[in-house]
Amino acid sequence: MLRLLIAAVVVLVGSGTASAQVRIKDVTDVSGSRSNQLFGFGLVVGLDGTGSRSTFTQQIAVDMLQRMGTSTQIFSQLPAESVIRSTSISAVLVTAEIGPFTRKGGRLDVTVSAIDDARSLQGGTLIFTPLRGADGNVYALAQGPLSIGGFSVTGQGSGIQKNHLNVGRIPAGGIVEKEAPGELVREGKSTLLLKDPDLNTSRLIAKTINERYPGTASATDPGAVTLCAPADPAKTPTLFLAEVGLLEIRPDSTARVVINERTGTVVAGENVRISTTAVAHGNLFIGVTNAPIVSQPSPLAGGMTTVVPRTQVAGVEQPARLINVPKSTTVAEVARAMNALGVTPRDLIAIFQMMKKAGALHAELILE
């Protein structure tokens, strides 16, 4: 079962003699079409006794009422006996992301997170909250009922909770008031930014585009390809970029082995190579068992017959085998070589790390 698991993990990634054809739009971004982060500070109301009782939150509520024209006093100046500490409100931070071509009046999804001691935002409603960008300008306004996607039920000494109750979302809860336009063309040129910079991939992208539109593309560096729209007046920059994005290439990639030690997962790319090497693998097996025995007291001793555990510990070191791993050309051959050792995924992690130190693993080793 373990051997099949290792083979499946590696062969699924490395099957085939070459990488698949992908569209240029799936491996690149157009310079100037970036999104922008928005944030704001607001108040959630309507909580069913799960809100905050802190002075901080109560003062925020008073300040909001003052801005709305309601006559009230500063919270700290009120007599203690006249203070009403509401448990139906919570101070929150509101975040959203606005796309580069989202127009005024468009809708945004917003995320609401409590910053006080509220126990849950379930059933709450966010009050009118301006959302600002890094430049301090207001780009959107958010308001609406929260969707938590979880619940919490408690009883005497026990309870159950699903998902995190202090963070909620408002689908389409933000309205764009100011646009953050992108810039696809600058001085008659556009730039494609590679999501995974690679010198050969940028060369292949430029070559593929020039085969369709001669003289329009050049590989600037491993992470960028510069485009110039063709002279055809019917080919606008937007139409040109749309057609370029549909062209297909076979991207190149660096040989990598990604390891997650927490879950024992190993994923190897198709370009991984292993030089001829010898690997010795052996495990130490330790077994612990509890065998209950009956304890019988002596006659007239006044004791009681009881059952007591007896722990037995045994250790066996399995014989190590020295196996020659031949020079591999595909990931499937790497899997077969590792399966010959009968290793588990966690053992495979240790073997790859030692191979890298020995200079036999020709790939970038990434630990997650």
What is the tens place of the pLDDT at every residue in 51-92? 888 888 888 887 787 777 765 555 555 555 445 567 899 999
Same domain? For 45 and 112 the reply is yes
Same domain? For 171 and 62 the reply is yes
Side-chain half-sphere CA neighbours of 135 within 13 A: 6
- Model pLDDT for residues 98-150, shown as the tens digit of each residue: 988 888 999 999 999 999 989 889 889 999 999 999 999 999 999 999 998 76
Same domain? For 329 and 281 the reply is yes
Same domain? For 204 and 151 the reply is no
Same domain? For 243 and 279 the reply is no
Same domain? For 171 and 54 the reply is yes
Decide which of 176, 202, 222 is a domain's last residue.
Answer: 176
Tell me how far apart the alpha carbons of residues 80 and 221 are, in angstroms, rounded to a whole number: 67
Same domain? For 155 and 75 the reply is yes
Statement: residue 5 has pLDDT above 50: no
Same domain? For 217 and 341 the reply is no
When pLDDT is averaged across residues 167-193 and rounded to a whole number, the result is 89
pTM score, two decimals? 0.64
Decide which of 142, 176, 210 is a domain's last residue.
Answer: 176
Same domain? For 224 and 270 the reply is no
Domain that holds residue 345: 2-15+256-296+303-367
Query: 356 or 160, which is more confident?
Result: 356
Same domain? For 157 and 143 the reply is yes
Same domain? For 61 and 155 the reply is yes
Q: Are 366 and 259 in contact (CB under 8 A)?
A: yes
Same domain? For 48 and 167 the reply is yes
pLDDT band for 309, please (50, 70, 90 cuts).
low
The helix/strand/coil state of 270 is: coil
Tell me how far apart the alpha carbons of residues 58 and 89 are, in angstroms, rounded to a whole number: 8
How many domains does one find in the chain?
Answer: 3
What is the percent of the chain where pLDDT is above 90?
32
pLDDT band for 37, please (50, 70, 90 cuts).
very high
